Structure 1
Amino acid sequence: MRKIYVPTAGPEDWRAMLADPVKQWRQGFSAVSAAQSWEAADGLPTEVAQILGPDAELLLAIPEHKVPLPGGSRASQCDVFALVSTATGICAVSVEAKVNEPFGPTVGEWLRDPSEGKVTRLTAICEMLGVAFPPPDDLRYQLFHRAAAAIVEASRFQTSSAAMIVQSFSPEHRWYDDFSVFCDYCGVNAERGVPLTVELPDGRRLTLGWATGSPLD
């Protein structure tokens, strides 16, 4: 994976970075909605800034950023990774955009016939979050590895905090219940549009947030 990035000229430039640029690039789906939202904001989208605080300022945003995790070669691919200046310091932010697409397999489905690599990965993620291993089968694995991506990058960039934000473009807030039970497992009560703070074993703070945006035509 190369480490040189170039600025975008518009939402279409995000398409080439998708795992499947044909199937995933459709109007009304999360990839297009996220690209349109972040390009139109020319900074932090309003709903994301609401989670990170009134002084939040975007320093850097990378679309489809891949973060290596322990236990295998497959990285966690953030829809957006951002470094954000906040009132308390620099925050490493992973963003998972959603419209109608679900969060993918549950922990139980993902760990069915588990390989050594999967056990190593999920154990490491739980240690990062300070939660018990194994998590309940009905929780969504994607939320675990996307939160871990923020923590890994917070360590790599030596930021004071991390954040994992679900940027939802669903008017019905689809899949919010999955986010809510994940928050419960991390020790906080979910609430839309509100920063939820978790104290991590490494001494950093992890902010979890559900940010509700509006898709652009």
Structure 2
Amino acid sequence: MSQVYIPASSAEQWAQFLAEPVKHWRQGYSARTLAYSWQDARGFPSEVGSVLESAFPSVELLLAFPEHKVSLPGGSRPSQNDIWVLARSEGQLISIAVEGKISEPFGPTVQEWQTGSSSGKAKRLAYLLSLLGLPSVSETTRYQLLHRTASAIIEAQRFNAAHAVMLVHSFSQSSEWFQDYAAFASLMGANPAEDSMVSVGLRSGVSLHLAWVRGNADYLFR
């Protein structure tokens, strides 16, 4: 995996990092909507910044990487974050894994993902549970939420960041799939709400937070 990154000067340049650009780079799709929202912001989109500042005063975006891949044990497929952000607040670094959504679900449940279970999948699930400090997980939990949250922690450890955030930036105006996020947050011991962030304590030595932010609907038409 390359460790050299080239800054994007336009949202359209984000498309090259998608696994299937022709399929996913369309108006009304989360990849394109997210790209325009964040590229235009020249920092955090205002709604994201507002939620982050509830816990991190004067939070500053330092670096943002579209389609950032984080390696996981047990198989060859990494966790591919829609955006990974390194931020700073009051001298402390923050690792933020951003998952963009409109109407698409959070992928398969743990039960569905385990269909045709292999030793690699068993190893990966055990690793994720250990990293997140979970003794077990419901079969209805969305697997994507597990590995996306793990990504935030892994990168926090890599950059010696004190905090990790798994942030869902949803442009759905009817909050589709919020209940799946809420069920995951509840599993982690939190009582979540829209447009807010909850803290779930230390996980693998990192202070972990979960957030759901509703995006600006104007970007659905970009």
TM range (shorter): over 0.9
Give the aligned partner of residue 182 of structure 1.
184
Unaligned 5+ segments in structure 2 are: none
Give, in whole Å, the separation in 1 of the partners of 2:203 and 2:69: 23
Q: Which moved more, 1:165-174 or 1:186-195?
A: 186-195
Give, in whole Å, the separation in 1 of the partners of 2:179 and 2:158: 31
The 5 A counterparts of 1:64-83 are: 64-83=67-86
Contact 2:17 2:67 in 1 (8 A): yes
Give the aligned partner of residue 143 of structure 1.
145
Contact 1:129 1:200 in 2 (8 A): no
Q: Residues 28-72 of structure 1, C-alpha deviation per residue, up to 9 Å, x if partnerless? A: 110001100001100011222123214111000000000001111
Give, in whole Å, the separation in 2 of the partners of 1:36 and 1:25: 11
Give the aligned partner of residue 119 of structure 1.
122
The 5 A counterparts of 1:126-205 are: 126-133=129-136, 135-205=137-207
Matched position secondary structure for 2:24 = coil
Moved over 4 A (4+): none
Distance 1:106 1:18, change over 3 A: same
Matched position secondary structure for 2:21 = coil
Give the aligned partner of residue 65 of structure 2.
62
If the length of structure 2 is used for normalisation, what is the TM-score?
Answer: 0.94
Matched position secondary structure for 1:95 = strand
Q: Residues 178-198 of structure 1, C-alpha deviation per residue, up to 9 Å, x if partnerless? A: 000000000101111111101
Which amino acid is 1:56 matched to? V
Q: Residues 87-110 of structure 1, C-alpha deviation per residue, up to 9 Å, x if partnerless? A: 361100000000011111001100
Give, in whole Å, the separation in 2 of the partners of 1:60 and 1:126: 28
Contact 2:133 2:204 in 1 (8 A): no
Contact 1:128 1:200 in 2 (8 A): no
User: Does residue 89 of structure 1 match 2:55?
Assistant: no
Task: Tell me the percent identity.
Answer: 44
Give, in whole Å, the separation in 1 of the partners of 2:166 and 2:144: 11
Give the aligned partner of residue 15 of structure 2.
15
Give, in whole Å, the separation in 2 of the partners of 1:122 and 1:166: 21
Contact 2:157 2:206 in 1 (8 A): no
Give, in whole Å, the separation in 1 of the partners of 2:209 and 2:29: 25
Give, in whole Å, the separation in 1 of the partners of 2:176 and 2:124: 27
Which amino acid is 2:170 matched to? S
The 5 A counterparts of 1:92-111 are: 92-111=95-114
Which amino acid is 2:111 matched to? G
Unaligned 5+ segments in structure 1 are: none
Which amino acid is 1:107 matched to? V
Give, in whole Å, the separation in 2 of the partners of 1:49 and 1:195: 11
If the length of structure 1 is used for normalisation, what is the TM-score?
Answer: 0.96
Which amino acid is 1:44 matched to? F
